[in-house]
Amino acid sequence: MDASVLTAARAALAAERRPWLVTVAASTGSTPQRPGAWMAVDETGLLAGTIGGGNLEFVCTGLVQRGEARPGLRHFSLNNREAGAVGMICGGSTDLLFTPLADSTPLDDALALLDARQEGVFCLPADGGLPTVHRCDAPPPEAAFVTQDAPARLELALLDARRVFVVGGGHVGREVSRLLGQLGYRHWVVDDRPDFAAPARFPDAERVVCTPFTTLDTLPAPTEGDAVCIMTRGHEGDAAAVRWALGTGAGYIGLMGSRRKREKLFADLAAAGYTDAPARLTTPIGLAIGAETPAEIAVSVCAQLVAFFHQSQ
């Protein structure tokens, strides 16, 4: 969940303005954003978030600014050949939920759960009524429209169930964490050095853990929806982390290192019984964009993670 939308809406209320949440509730065909994408808008314009940009976002922002928005669901065609189209040629259609806010309580509740890293659901009534927040141990993995219980509502998980495990808190690990924070991805950072596993170095991380790389099995085991990025300071740490990751269900395992080291690594892993290593391990990690600096490498790594997460949906 993009917490900046909640924060911006709360700030608008504090300034005695009336913000609206505009949320993608459903989509068919080719559309700019998936269900769950949202933005906060008030009479001054767009405050935070996005429903895909372009003319659809422009039209919806204008409705709020001119006082013409109405609470509830509204259907938009993104095909210029249909009536009610908004000047886009994507070819699909989308249902947007307009929610006016006059009370900051649900925003405060949601932000409190996010700050505490606690699971919960942000519920947006289909009639545009005031949202509610509920604790939930197993929130829906994607935005879900619930109709069997009154009132009908769109449920958004506060925390994404997917995680990235960044194993190695050095220069590249720090840049990867910064970028993951901007992308809104939950992530843990692990290092065996107290100075490099200091929480202050990784303000965007969900957890920062100081532990030897040989004891990574004390961490929650990654699932097929999770990613592991291995970038320790040496071969021994890399090898221990790779063996740990291969023993889990992690859907993506990336290792920073040269291509020259890859064949020896795979040979060592095969000798140790990890015959599936070539199919599961991405090394060198990241997209081949000629990255050299830690920040550039982080861009290549995170771009590959974005591709993995979208392909696994």
pLDDT digit string, tens, across residues 130-171: 999 988 877 777 788 888 777 899 999 888 778 899 999 999
Q: What pLDDT score does 83 carry?
A: 42
Closest CA to 228 of 308, 159, 157: 308
- 58, with CB counted inside 10 A (0-12, 13-18, 19+), is middle
Closest CA to 129 of 20, 53, 225, 259: 20
The secondary structure of 1-46 as a DSSP string is: --HHHHHHHHHHHHTT---EEEEEEEEESS-SS-TT-EEEEETTEE
Q: Convert the pLDDT of each residue in 179-235 to its tens digit.
A: 998 888 889 999 999 999 999 999 989 899 999 999 999 999 999 989 999 999 988
Confidence of residue 313 (pLDDT cuts 50, 70, 90): low
Cis, peptide link before residue 220, omega less than 30° from 0: no
One of 3.40.50.720, 3.50.50.60, 3.30.470.10, 1.10.3720.10 is the CATH number of 164-311, namely 3.40.50.720
Question: In the structure encoding, which two tokens stand for residue 35, read together?
Answer: 């269900």
Q: What pLDDT score does 85 carry?
A: 52
Q: Convert the pLDDT of each residue in 75-92 to its tens digit.
A: 987 765 544 555 545 557
Q: What pLDDT score does 13 carry?
A: 96
103 versus 140: which is more confidently predicted?
103
Residue ranges covered by each domain of the chain: 3-157, 164-311
pTM reported for the whole predicted model:
0.70
Question: In the structure encoding, which two tokens stand for residue 281, read together?
Answer: 């391990």
Confidence of residue 257 (pLDDT cuts 50, 70, 90): confident
Q: What pLDDT score does 252 carry?
A: 97
Question: What separation in angstroms does the CA of 180 have from each of 63, 81, 204, 276, 287?
Answer: 33, 40, 8, 28, 16
